[in-house]
Amino acid sequence: MIRVLNIVLLVACGVGLIGVYALKYQSEGVASRRLELQTQIADQQDQLSVMRAEWAYVTQPGHIAPIVRRHAESLDLAQIRADQFISVDALPMRPAAMDPDALTALLESLDAGIDPIAALIEAN
Amino acid sequence: MTMTGAAELGTIALDGARKTRGNQTRTRIRVLMLFIAAALVLIVGKLVTLGGTDTTANIEGRALDEITATRPAILDRNGIEMAVDIRVPSLYAEPNRMVDKPGAIAAILSVLPDLDENVLRERLNRDKGFVWIDRELTPAQKDDILRLGIPGLDFVTESRRFYPGGTEASHIMGMVNIDNKGTAGIEARLDRDNVALLQDLGFARDRELSPVSLSIDMRVQHALRDQLEDALSRYQAVSAAGVIIDVHTAEILAMVSLPDFDPNAPTSFSEDWLDKKNQRFNRITLGRYELGSTFKTITFAAALDSGAVKLTDSFDARFGIRFGKYLIDDFHGKHRVLQVPEIYKYSSNVGTIKMMQTLGSENYRAFLTRMGFDDPLKVELPETIVSVIPEKFSEVGAATASFGHGLSVTPLHMAQAVAALVNGGILKPATLYPRTSAEADAIGTRVVSQETSARMRYLLRLNALEGSGTHANKLADGYRVGGKTGTAEKVENGQYVADRNLNVFASAFPVDDPHYAMVILVDEPKPENQQSGVTAGWNAGEVTGRVIARVAPMLGIRPDFAATVDAALVPPELGRPVVTTDKDSTF
């Protein structure tokens, strides 16, 4: 009875030993992977901080303004004038719809060989 | 069976089997206990040695954390970065771990040719665990050094402050020292508030802090600086400064003082300007000036708000006023009886003094206190100065103070006051942090009534339409600017110098529904050409006009050319605009 128990415990010990060893080995691998990733993250954060600074620099109004000034002539740029702003109400109405009957009449008369517009020009 | 030591004496002690086994067990237990105790002592000893070792990395006496400490990014109100941290590698060596020092020196110099060979050799030959080789390298240089594979060299990542805008907002940003501590401007203020504390507690080490937003609008800031720079060359002025604040929240949208400096190169702050030292300070908060006739705006508000003077009143401005041996007269005087709006429009000193005398000099002095001129600025910059106003005005002192002489205040005090006079009468301390109108109202104090505020808007607009502000109005047509000029002779060695003027324009726009107040200073301007003058309308006024024409579209102000807008500003008691035939402007 005791012998059986001893054998079972011995086997359990062995299994435990192998298990713990494997776990330790595995966690070492994970730890080194973690370190690797941390370094990578730090590196990328460093690069990101530089790129962010660069982006902030190139999008700065003070950086863009001289570029605009340099190309103002070729691109026909100018400062907006106050009188260029108008309200929606001040926009002209859409032009009146075309008169299809008049157009048909014009095309028919053209087909018939009479050009009313040329006649108008000649009359003047 | 076991015999004890007594056997030699001839006595034999015989123990029973059970007793013998009991003794054996007791001995075994004792041995085991001894082992366990020894093991425990070992463990405790190890713990003590572990506890004693200093695990924090030290570099020349400073914790590594301190060097990598970060500062929060600073953003403008639209999220444009004004200050960011760049993380850069710095190279150091551990000489006692280095094998081939001459070889290492040659290799390092191949990558970093700018280093001094002798200095490098001297450093590497020190018997120390740590020496800096070069700080703040580029990533490419770091890769090159790593490729050399020299033992005993290593990198530490340092945080370095970078201001993408360069000189654009220098006085607002301030600067930091090599240890990333703020020494001026908002940077110093941030440290005082919390960053230093966070760094001390270890929260700010090697990790990002949430960014800090300011009330500044970088677009407006740029436009203002651009126009002031233009003013320096156009009018050959020695310096120029300007500030724009939101009248409802008292947020500072832009603040520029020229000459300025580059916060990325802190030494530029101490460079000479026009052969003079210490010229690069912030004139808006640290400069204190006699603001001349712009102060009449304050005097008018005091007189009108008290009820002692009405817009319909008239004052005799035919003759100058004599105080003992001093005679105060008008510059380009009309020398006739003037109605209150005319006094403002023609900037009559005599009329203004008489209005102040009707109010009473003590009431006038009390009003200056109420307008916050005596209070220190609450703006979040360490660089501020208090006003110089006599505790009690003498008769002549009050008279000159009514048109802005004999008392000096900062331009930001003036901007706050103008904002209060046009926003409905509530004085709010200017700030660099964003806040809402409601938050500002909660800390604001009512200084004049709604009605007085409406009258001040009318007077400011009147002066822009018919008085000294016409230059500004012409350039910012449609944006309804209202403002008052001031041309103050500069004091040098206790004497007023006639040909050296400090020109000021204090304004608000759009005056029918004010959003922004602005104060522009141009110091010692010369005429732009033969046809132009040197009074404030010609320079500070024009700069104001140009700035408004540029920034109003960005700030979403719709131009309106309708004459009804100006007509609606005329207070009911006047009924109609003051009709005048002569249109020549004064200062």
Q: Looking at the structure, do residues B293 and B439 belong to the same domain, yes or no?
A: yes
Residues of chain B in contact with residue A63, where contact means CB-CB under 8 angstroms, are 164
CB contact under 8 A, A62 and B166: yes
DSSP B447: -
Residue B437 annotated as catalytic? no
Phi-psi region of B556 (alpha: psi -120 to 50; beta: other; left: phi over 0): left
Residue B61 CA to residue B146 CA, distance in Å, equals 26
To the nearest whole percent, how much of chain B has pLDDT over 90? 53
Q: What is the pLDDT of residue B10?
A: 61
Q: How many domains does chain B have?
A: 2
Are B163 and B246 found together in one domain?
Answer: no
Does residue B33 belong to any structural domain of this protein?
Answer: no
Provide the pLDDT for residue B581.
45
pLDDT at B461: 95
**Would you say residue A20 lies in a domain?**
yes
Our count of domains for chain A comes to: 1
Is A28 or B15 the better-scoring residue by pLDDT?
A28
- pLDDT, residue B198, reads 62
Give me the pLDDT at residue B576, please.
57
Residues B458 and B530 in one domain: yes
Residue B96 sits in the same domain as residue B180 = yes
Gyration radius from chain B CA atoms: 37
Residue B247 lies in a domain: yes
Q: Nearest 5°: CA angle at B377, between B261 and B503?
A: 60
In order, the DSSP letters of B282-305 are -TTTS--B--GGGHHHHHHHHHHH
The predicted pLDDT at position B286 comes to 93
Residues of A in contact with B561 (CB under 8 A): 82-83
For residues B247 and B352, state if they share a domain: yes
Residue A73 falls inside a structural domain: no
Predicted local distance difference test score (pLDDT) of residue B373: 94
- From CA B48, how far away is CA B41, in angstroms rounded? 10
Per-residue pLDDT, B169: 93
**Is the Cβ–Cβ distance between B409 and B289 less than 8 Å?**
yes
User: Based on the domain organization, do B107 and B231 belong to the same domain?
Assistant: no
**Whole-number average pLDDT of chain A:** 88
- Pair of tokens at residue B144: 């090159």
Asked if B86 is an interface residue toward chain A (Cβ–Cβ < 8 A), one would say yes
In a domain, A121, yes or no: no
B208 and B255 inside one domain: no
B324 inside domain: yes
Same domain, B226 and B206: no
Assigned domain for A38 exists: yes
Is A22 contained in some domain? Answer: yes
User: B105 lies in which domain range?
Assistant: 65-213
Domain boundary pick from B213, B246, B275: B213
Alpha-carbon distances of B28 from B18, B41, B190, rounded to whole Å: 16, 20, 69
**B134 within domain boundaries:** yes
Q: Which of B90, B159, B170, B293 is catalytic?
A: B293
Query: Residues B333, B428: one domain?
Result: yes
Q: Is residue A88 part of a domain?
A: no
Contact map slice: B 520-579 vs A, CB within 8 A = 549-550, 552-553, 558-559, 561
Cα radius of gyration (chain A): 43
| A contacts of B550 (beta carbons < 8 Å) | 79
* CATH code, B311: 3.40.710.10
Q: What pLDDT shows up at residue B1?
A: 45
B104 in a domain, yes or no? yes
Contact A61 B222 (CB under 8 A): yes
B402 and B534 in a single domain? The answer is yes
Sequence-ordered list of residues with C-beta below 8 angstroms from that of B502, at least 6 positions apart, any chain: B289, B290, B292, B487, B488, B489, B490, B521, B522, B523, B524
CATH number for B185: 3.90.1310.10
**Rounded to an integer, what distance in angstroms lies between the CA atom of residue B85 and that of residue B140?**
19
Cα separation, B426 vs B421, in Å, equals: 7
- Spans of chain B below 50 pLDDT: 1-3, 5-7, 206, 578-587
CA distance B265 to chain A (A): 16
Q: Looking at the partner chain, which of A52, A63, A82 has a beta carbon nearest the beta carbon of B559?
A: A82
Q: Burial code of B19-51, b = ≥16 C-beta within 10 A, e = fewer?
A: eeeeeeeeeeeeeeeeeeeeeeeeeeeeeeeee
Residues B426 and B346 in one domain: yes
pLDDT in tens, B133-184: 888 787 788 888 888 888 888 888 888 889 999 899 999 999 998 778 888 9
pLDDT of residue B203: 53
CB contact under 8 A, A56 and B549: no
Predicted pLDDT at A114: 81
Query: Does B333 share its domain with B384?
Result: yes
Task: For residue range B401-428, list pLDDT tens digits in order.
Answer: 999 988 999 999 999 999 999 999 999 9
What percent of chain A is helix, strand and coil (3-state, nearest 5)?
A: 75, 0, 25
Q: Per the domain annotation, does B170 fall within a domain?
A: yes
Q: Which residues of B touch A85 (CB under 8 A)?
A: 478, 553, 558-559
Q: Mean per-residue pLDDT for A116-123?
A: 79
Domain residue limits at A36: 15-64
Average pLDDT of the segment spanning A3-21 = 95
SS3 B450: helix
